[in-house]
Amino acid sequence: MKVLVTRLLPEHTQKRLQDEPLLDLVQWKEDRAIPRETLLSLVKGVDAIYCLLTDKIDEQVLDCAGPQLKVVSTMSVGYDHIDVKALKARNIQVGYTPDCLTEATADLTVLLALSVARRMKEGIRAAENGEWSVWRPTWLCGTQFSGKTLGVVGLGRIGEAVAKRLKAFGITRILYYGRSRKPQAEAELGAEFASFDDLLEKSDYITVCCALTVETQDLFDYQAFSKMKPSVVFVNTARGGIVKQDDLVRALEDGKIRAVGLDVTVPEPLPVDHKLYQFPNCIILPHIASATSETREQMATMALDNIVAVANGQPIPFGL
């Protein structure tokens, strides 16, 4: 089976890929995104595409590939870069990598929440820039978690893992908002289903853990930020498109929110001269929530398992 792999993979999976007897491999073997023109040219005649979240898989790619294309497997849990409807209409299977990045992503979400709540960026800068004079009772005071309310937008696997972790830091109330109620999470975590507005108004910490869809695109606009407590800590490790970034800048300028932690932006990478970098109360990371060696290897393996299953005429193990 002819497969296009759009990137060099983590070590063990790369070796396994090269050793797979059933695969006739075409690979963009670099540690940077495949240029669109190269993708459109290399995809011709392949039966399978192994892609990343940086590759837009749309009608144009499908047309270039041809009617023999059977499966598109992405090394990511998010699949907003794939036109799933178009693939389904052509009977092309879609594979992704659920579950394996839950823990790593939840860890980083908590890390961001802690870092911005405790003014980590200002603290590091002060220490390195010689602004650290003497211990002062009110200098660089942040806010803590005990007795506070957490609002989780999207209480799926990652949202739940974040809530569990933050409970251990003293969070006493968990509100969540999403498409449907989660009775099991309600029982296990004591989480309460809330309207979007209620969650905005009552939460001390808000974590965005939902997928980017037509419904969640630009969900957090200036109006939403204005409804939050001015003391709120806002963290997004899901997708940049869920936040209207210009409105976030305005909300920070107007002091509508206390602090922000972002692992995702629009675009990615966020240009170094972007205004968001200038706020001392805004920490930006370069989309590394799932970046542990263990998790990335696991993601790469699962995406390959999907392709190998199709090559063997079996159902894909991790499909939509």
Residues near ligand DGY (CB under 6 A) are: 53, 76-78, 101, 289-290
Q: Which CB, 77 or 243, lies closer to ligand DGY?
A: 77
Please state the closest distance from residue 3 (CB atom) to ligand DGY, in A: 20
Q: CB-wise, 76 or 149, nearer to ligand DGY?
A: 76
Helix crossing, 102-117 with 157-168: angle to 10°? 50
- Using H for helix, E for strand and C for coil, what is the string for 155-224? CCHHHHHHHHHHHHCCCCEEEEECCCCCHHHHHHHCCEECCHHHHHHHCCEEEECCCCCCCCCCCECHHH
User: What CA–CA distance (Å, rounded) separates 218 from 211?
Assistant: 12
- For 138, phi then psi, to 5°, come to -115, 5
C-alpha span between 255 and 253 (Å, rounded) = 6
Report the 10 Å Cβ neighbour count for 29.
11
- The CA-to-CA distance between both ends of the chain, in Å, stands at 21
Question: To the nearest whole angstrom, how small is the minimum distance from the Cβ of residue 268 to ligand DGY?
Answer: 10
- Nearest CB to ligand DGY, comparing residues 48 and 238: 238
Q: Is 287 a catalytic residue?
A: yes
Which helix (H) or strand (E) segment is 3 a member of? Answer: strand 2-5
Q: Is residue 148 within 8 Å of 142, Cβ to Cβ?
A: no
CB 73 → ligand DGY: shortest distance, Å? 12
In angstroms, give the least distance from the CB of 58 to ligand DGY.
17
Cα-based angle 191, 196, 198 (whole degrees, multiple of 5): 70
Residue 25 or residue 291: which is nearer to ligand DGY going by CB?
Answer: 291
- Could you tell me the two tokens for 61? 């790619």
Catalytic residue among 12, 81, 274, 287: 287
Which residues are tagged catalytic? 287
